[in-house]
Amino acid sequence: MNKQLPIKLSPAFKDYLWGGDRLKTDFGKQSDLTPLAESWELSAHRDGESTVATGPLAGLALTSYLKQVGTSALGTAAARFDYFPILIKLIDAKGDLSVQVHPDDAYALANEGEYGKTEMWYILDCEPGACLYYGFARDVSRAEYENAIKENRLTEILNRVPVKRGDVFFIPAGTVHAIGAGIVICEIQQNSNTTYRVYDYGRRDKNGNTRPLHVEKALAVSALTAAPAHTDTPNGPDVLLADCPYFTVRRLRVTDTLTLTCTDDTFYSLIVTDGHGTLTMHGETLDLSKGDSIFIPAQNGSATLDGTCELIFTHI
**pLDDT tens digits for range 162-197:** 999 999 999 999 999 999 999 999 999 999 999 999
Task: Give φ, ψ of 142 to 5 degrees.
Answer: -60, -40
Check pLDDT > 80 for residue 4: yes
Task: Over range 258-273, report the average pLDDT.
Answer: 97
Reduced to 3 states (helix: H, G, I; strand: E, B; else coil), residue 240 is: strand
Measured between alpha carbons, how far is 211 from 200 in angstroms, rounded to an integer?
7
Please give the distance of CA 169 from its chain centroid, rounded to a whole number.
Answer: 11
Check pLDDT > 70 for residue 44: yes
**Domains, the chain, ranges and CATH?**
7-68+82-221 (2.60.120.10), 238-315 (2.60.120.10)
Measured between alpha carbons, how far is 117 from 302 in angstroms, rounded to an integer?
31
Measured between alpha carbons, how far is 181 from 94 in angstroms, rounded to an integer?
5
pLDDT in tens, 48-80: 999 999 999 999 999 999 999 999 999 999 999
pTM of the predicted model as reported, rounded to 2 decimal places: 0.96
DSSP annotation of 20 reads B
pLDDT band, residue 1 (cuts 50/70/90):
very low
Instruction: Name every residue whose Cβ is closer than 8 Å to that of residue 174 and which is 6 or more positions away in sequence.
Output: 101, 102, 103, 104, 221, 222, 223
Q: What pLDDT, on the 0 to 100 scale, is given for residue 47?
A: 97
Helix (H) or strand (E) holding 62: helix 62-69
Positions marked catalytic: 197
Q: What pLDDT, on the 0 to 100 scale, is given for residue 256?
A: 94
Task: Over range 37-44, report the average pLDDT.
Answer: 98
Measured between alpha carbons, how far is 303 from 6 in angstroms, rounded to an integer?
9
Q: What pLDDT, on the 0 to 100 scale, is given for residue 208?
A: 87
What is the overall mean pLDDT for the chain? 97
